[in-house]
Structure 1
Amino acid sequence: MSLTSDSATSTVHPAVKNPLIITILCWCTMLLDGFDLVVLGAAIPPMMEDDRWDFGPAQATMASTAGLFGMMLGALVISYLTDKFGRRRVLMLAVVIFSAFTAGLAFTTNITLFVILRFLAGAGLGGALPVCISIVTEFRAVSKAGSASTTLMTGYHVGAVATAFLGILMIKPLGWHSLFIAGAAPALILLPAMYFLLPESPQYLKSIGKDAEAERIATEYNIPIDDELDKKHATEVNNNSTFKVLLGPTFRRNSLAIWGTSFMGLLLVYGMNTWLPQIMRDADYDLGNSLAFLMVLNIGAVVGLIVAGSLADKHSPRKTALLWFVLSAIFLGLLAIKLPIAGLYAMIFLTGVFVFSSQVLVYGFVGENHPSSVRATAMGLSAGIGRAGAISGPMLGGLLVAQGIAYPWGFFAFAAIGLLGAIIFSFTRTLKNRTTSIEQV
């Protein structure tokens, strides 16, 4: 039985539980991702001044890179486990891994152990993002995959800003160790809340044959349980391994395009976040303005996520992502033009609106266009391969800065990457019948 909220359908059951709590729990998990983005940058200066170890720029680079490699591995492995063992249990496991090893960072001044712990913490957190997007997509209805992903990622940026403020408040009186304890502490509340309030995805339950339990949860939350792609590709999914499905004739073209686009998207995000202040310094702006540019860029990101999610639900994540990548390329190129300070702030804000949302819309496309039994793995491959771009972005920016050509060529290089992302993503094709799914919501 397909559950819908169409007033003309008599089989609708009134919702007795609000799926908003699921979004909130996953949004809080994304706060931890935002924390991890900023925490090392905030802690590195006092860590380098700590006489108990010889922690210098090389060691800081190792720790940062280890965390990114851990995220890449976690996205690939944990998301695969999600399609095998369920969204709920694996998401809780990811939070436990991240929080336990992040707490461990506060209690060591051994550089080798610190780097290992950063890698393991990253592995836990890297798996959380694709799982969160998968489960929220399924409880918000697949036709709202665009806003599901963008809503969650606002938590990422809020977490980044909050961690910067925590660093200002805590590091001087309590030391750099306190910041890692603060990053692990939310699990003490988040995990019990997940245990009691986070249900398993009914789509996943149905995919493993637990139809009665799936029907019960779908009825409680008044969400569709019958997914068009699950029915259409049931034979293909049931007779092949997950990776054979994703690289099979139906999904191969999308898979390759998604992986290439994700690489470009996260290269832009991490490259711009890492090097924008220095590029603007090379353009003869003072340090105060250069740091303010980074803040405005991320404020634009939050606005862009909200707008992009709404448009994606209405017009599809694919169409919106293509537009967003093209506009990212245009505004990145325009940053190379000398403007009055007010105009430059406006240009950077608009750049933030498009650059950060582009990759998130790719996640929305993945969520909408894959059967539930392979959705988390597809999401994890997108995020995991994208993390390789996250590693490459700072390297590209650093190379341009070292060569003394970051301004204006850094902006031209990032603009070219945005355009290349649009070109690669244009090879995808929408598999979901959006008209039918929207009518069922």
Structure 2
Amino acid sequence: MSRSLTPPAPRPPHTLRTVFPVLALCWLAVFFDGMDVNIYGAVMPHMLDDTGLGLTPDSAGTIGSWTTFGMLIGALTAGNLTDWLGRRLMLVASVSLFSAGSALCAVAGDVALFGAGRFVSGLGLGGLMPLCLAMVLEFAPPRRAALTTGLLMTSYHFGGMAATGLGLTLAPAAGWRWVFWAGVLPALIAVPLLLRLLPESPGVLLARGERDKADAVADRFGLPRPTEVAAPAAGAAGRLAAVRELFRPESRWATPLLWLASFCGLLLVYGISTWLPQMMRASGYGLNSSVSFLLVINAGGIVGLLIAGRVADRFGAVRVSAIWFVLTAAGALLLKAHLPLGVTYVVVAVTGVWLFSAQVMVYAATNTVYRDSERAAGLGWVTGVGRTGAVVGPWLIGELAASGNESWGFTTFALAGLGGALAICLVPAARRFGRGGTKAPAPVAASAGS
């Protein structure tokens, strides 16, 4: 008799403790994601000083956009490949791809080859984040969705701090190329662990017709056994249907607002991760201080995520994201002024508290808009469309830097913060408008936002 016809086996309670193995493995993968994304910004001042490479502020911004353009493609295609490979193998492929891109950057002799390496890295990076977020949200207790998302995303900032540490120590001593060789470590460390220890998504297993395996994984981690309603759609036709579901009456207006908020948030995240050291250097700060600002803002990001996750579980991810965006805008305007070094460190750290978690709470807010079966598609498109902001941010600041107007970058960041706040603020009203002002059953993780 099929297991699906038998009563569920005794399973552990569905708590943060039961999700810990999945959270820990995804945390490691996102740690290396954050390291790879921030490596470029951490070593850019050294690369601009390397006349043999031929990098200029203009081409540096273009290459930053190549990276994020690769992320856009990776984020939008990862869902379709997941149908064939599953989320676990797609995570392995993503880590392997951005490690290979880092190796290509390390051996590049000119700007074109270096840019190709960053594009390859972007393909892997783009697929990794939505996959890890979808995995953790699937395994997390519904009432701890925002907290679990925040805990996961602390790893991005620990990775950013590791990249900055490499930029401060390894780059001056051995050259910027060795920092990119360090970017090959994910393939050697994370890939074997993911292959051996990470479970497959029960929803994906069910969508592929593997009911017994799906139930076994759910029972092992204390999850409810997946149903056909909760399973993501499979195949190209299923993916198209899933995208159409994002525009059903209840979410047709909320979806573009989430996309806009994600665009603004990722413009901030990747614009600052790529250009903050060079912008601060152009403002008159020393090379080591300018690079160390990247370390400080990521440290602030870790604190912010730990605060935002707990606050959002109580007051709602939408409300927290909006306030955090406004505070980010205020911090960006303060950084435009040349303050004393100690004060600047404090402003950078506090801005980091708000900046990164504002974007992460946009992800957490998707649980208030989309049903279980729409979660992966909704999150994938929020991150994917948002990647256009990640493309625009580095390119736009690069254009400003090439014309000697780096300081206008801080104004750009402030405007992006205000735009993100407005967009995410309108999401609850858009949901009410979409369903005609009537109450509808809340999504499973409604306590995480709205």
Give the alignment's TM-score, normalised by structure 1: 0.81
- In the other structure, the counterpart of 1:178 is 178
- Alignment RMSD: 3.7
Q: What is the CA deviation profile of residues 89-118 of structure 1, one whole-angstrom value per residue up to 9, with x for unaligned ones?
A: 221221222223333333443554443232
Q: What is the CA deviation profile of residues 16-62 of structure 1, one whole-angstrom value per residue up to 9, with x for unaligned ones?
A: 994312111111111222222232344556666778x6533265444
- In the other structure, the counterpart of 2:130 is 130
Q: Tell me the CA shift for residue 279 of structure 1.
A: 5.4
- In the other structure, the counterpart of 2:375 is 375
**Pairing of 1:49-198 with structure 2 (within 5 A):** 54-57=53-56, 60-82=60-82, 85-109=85-109, 111-171=111-171, 175-198=175-198
- In the other structure, the counterpart of 1:202 is 202
- In the other structure, the counterpart of 1:433 is 442
Checking the alignment, whether the CA contact within 8 Å between 2:91 and 2:128 is kept in structure 1 is: yes
Q: Distance in 2 between matches of 1:175 and 1:281?
A: 19
Structure 1 residues 282 and 247: CA distance shift in structure 2, 3 A: same
Structure 1 regions of 5+ residues with no counterpart? Answer: 1-9
Checking the alignment, whether the CA contact within 8 Å between 2:23 and 2:136 is kept in structure 1 is: yes
- In the other structure, the counterpart of 1:313 is 313
Structure 1 residues 109 and 250: CA distance shift in structure 2, 3 A: same
Q: Tell me the CA shift for residue 177 of structure 1.
A: 3.8
Amino acid at match of 1:154: T
Q: Distance in 1 between matches of 2:60 and 2:285?
A: 27
Where 1:86 maps in the other structure, the secondary structure is helix
Give the alignment's TM-score, normalised by structure 2: 0.80
Amino acid at match of 2:93: L
Structure 2 regions of 5+ residues with no counterpart? Answer: 1-7, 432-439
Q: Distance in 2 between matches of 1:277 and 1:352?
A: 14
| Pairs aligned (count) | 424
Structure 1 residues 184 and 15: CA distance shift in structure 2, 3 A: farther
Checking the alignment, whether the CA contact within 8 Å between 1:70 and 1:120 is kept in structure 2 is: yes
Q: Tell me the CA shift for residue 432 of structure 1.
A: 7.2
| Stretch deviating more after TM superposition (253-262 or 207-216) | 207-216
Q: Distance in 2 between matches of 1:61 and 1:336?
A: 20
- In the other structure, the counterpart of 2:361 is 361
Amino acid at match of 1:423: L
Q: Distance in 1 between matches of 2:264 and 2:447?
A: 30
Structure 1 residues 224 and 293: CA distance shift in structure 2, 3 A: same
Q: Tell me the CA shift for residue 400 of structure 1.
A: 5.1
Where 1:19 maps in the other structure, the secondary structure is helix
- In the other structure, the counterpart of 1:3 is none
**Pairing of 1:9-88 with structure 2 (within 5 A):** 13-14=11-12, 18-44=18-44, 54-57=53-56, 60-82=60-82, 85-88=85-88
Q: Tell me the CA shift for residue 403 of structure 1.
A: 6.4
- In the other structure, the counterpart of 2:256 is 256
| Stretch deviating more after TM superposition (336-345 or 414-423) | 336-345
Quote the sequence identity (%): 37
Checking the alignment, whether the CA contact within 8 Å between 1:368 and 1:432 is kept in structure 2 is: no
Amino acid at match of 1:419: L
